Amino acid sequence: MKTNVLMLLGTLGLLLAASCKKDKSVAYTAPLELKDHDTAFVHPGLLHTDADFTRMKTKVAASAEPWLSGWNRLTSNAHASLTYVANPVPIVYRGYDGVNAENYSSLFNDIAAAYADALRWKVSGDEAYAKKSIAIMNAWSSTLKRISGTNDSVLCAGLQGYQFANAGEIMRSYKGWSASDFARFQHMMLDIFYPINHAFLTRRERCMSHFYANWDLCNMCSVTAIGVLCDDRSIYNEGIQYFRDGAGNGNIKNAVYYIHEGGLGQWQESGRDQGHTVLGIGLMGAFCEMTWNQGDDMYGYDDNRFLKGAEYVAKYNLMEDVPYTAYTNCLGVNQTVIGDGSRGNIRPVWELVYNHYVKRKGLSAPYTERFAAKVRPEGGGGSYGNTSGGFDQLGYGTLTCTIGN
């Protein structure tokens, strides 16, 4: 693993320099105060808390909508089946390195299953699903040795890192998961996923805008989730520090890099394509929810800057016009018009954002609200295609995130 991380840092260090365009009109925002290292974490406390599970269980038992429809999307997904068979491998490859074929689909499929089974257990109380989720995680923690491939391995460590940690966080209280097996799972996350996340977020390139926002965001999600899973405040704080003042595009002021008159916030990848902007909303939403459940409000940071970005992305993907300011970066990228590739992209990411800003906080988010209604009830891994894009988010937000009567 140490060799892989050094190779990654060496590759990243070759990139060139300059400065990237940022919104200069935003007022100074006071620094966030990080919690003391002795402050205990809430468990479960990533995407879902005990209160969330109580709400899901109560609403589904009462056949209340839209929770019941969300539950039905979960139970009809093949990954949420007791017949699902895990396929762990010792080395996961993402990106063809010229020798080894990509095989990371085994990992993202198995994580989708572990997470779906964990939800089924928490809502139904059926321990068969708890045992299935644990069996999948034990199989991987006793098999996986390395994540490799090209630089795309960083995406695997980030996306699948935060997702796997979420499955583990849900199941940590299950009496049938032995202390030794849970400890081995924690060590897998700390020894295999985290070093890649950390190396990427602490890189020191001359051109820090080289990587699009989703690269930083998935690794921010992973360090945040692993920090909670492993009760390590310093790891958790890495994500918050990067969100606040990181040099790359995961920094909230780089991700939502220009605020237009009227309050719409242009997303950093808007000139690229819309599949990646919607992915960015999903990752930023997951980051904000995980930190919110630990008592840290990233949603509201800098006058709800994330909401402004979500509204921008939602409006454009609802086929309405949005203003656009040309985007340039220090590698010479010059995107003079908004990208329309994959416009209207459907991903199960909107319920979480809508329910926080509109239901929890009572704010107006008309475009986010419309997109959430368009996707409802949200499915999960595999519901939106069998390639990696269909597994970039855990999903099932209608069941897990809906707040209301």
Domain harbouring 93, CATH code: 1.50.10.100
pLDDT of residue 30: 46
Q: Looking at the 3D structure of the chain, how many domains does it have?
A: 1
The pLDDT-based confidence of 3 (bands split at 50, 70, 90) is: very low
> Would residue 29 count as lying in a domain?
no
Question: What is the model's pLDDT at position 206?
Answer: 87
> CB burial class (10 A; 0-12, 13-18, 19+) of residue 87?
middle
Which string of DSSP letters, residue by residue, matches 283-305? HHHHHHHHHHTTT---TTHHHHH
Q: What's the pLDDT score for residue 404?
A: 84
pLDDT at 294: 98
Element (H, E) at 146: strand 146-149
Q: How many CB atoms lie within 10 A of CB 292?
A: 18
In-domain check, residue 43 = no
**Mean pLDDT within 69-92:** 98
Type of residue found at 7 = M
Residue indicated by tokens 């977020």: 201
In a domain, 46, yes or no: no
pLDDT of amino acid 405: 67
Q: Which domain holds residue 310?
A: 64-401
In a domain, 123, yes or no: yes
pLDDT tens-digit readout, 160-182: 999 999 999 999 999 999 999 99
**pLDDT tens digit string along 365-387?**
999 999 999 999 999 999 999 99
Q: Considering the domain boundaries, does residue 169 fall inside one?
A: yes
> Do residues 368 and 310 lie in contact, with contact meaning Cβ atoms separated by under 8 Å?
yes
Q: What is the pLDDT of residue 344?
A: 97
Whether residue 22 lies inside any domain: the answer is no
Please write the tens of the pLDDT for every residue from 108-143: 999 999 999 999 999 999 999 999 999 999 999 999
**Residue 8 reports pLDDT greater than 80:** no
pLDDT at 18 over 50: no
Average pLDDT, stretch 330-346?
95
How much is the pLDDT for 173? 94
CB atoms within 10 A of CB 43: 16
- pLDDT band of residue 35 (cuts 50, 70, 90) is confident
| pLDDT-derived band at 300, boundaries 50, 70, 90 | very high
42 domain-assigned: no
Q: Is residue 57 part of a domain?
A: no
Q: What percent of the chain has pLDDT over 70?
A: 92
Query: Tokens representing 367?
Result: 């475009």
pTM for the model stands at 0.92
Q: Report the pLDDT averaged over residues 44-52.
A: 98
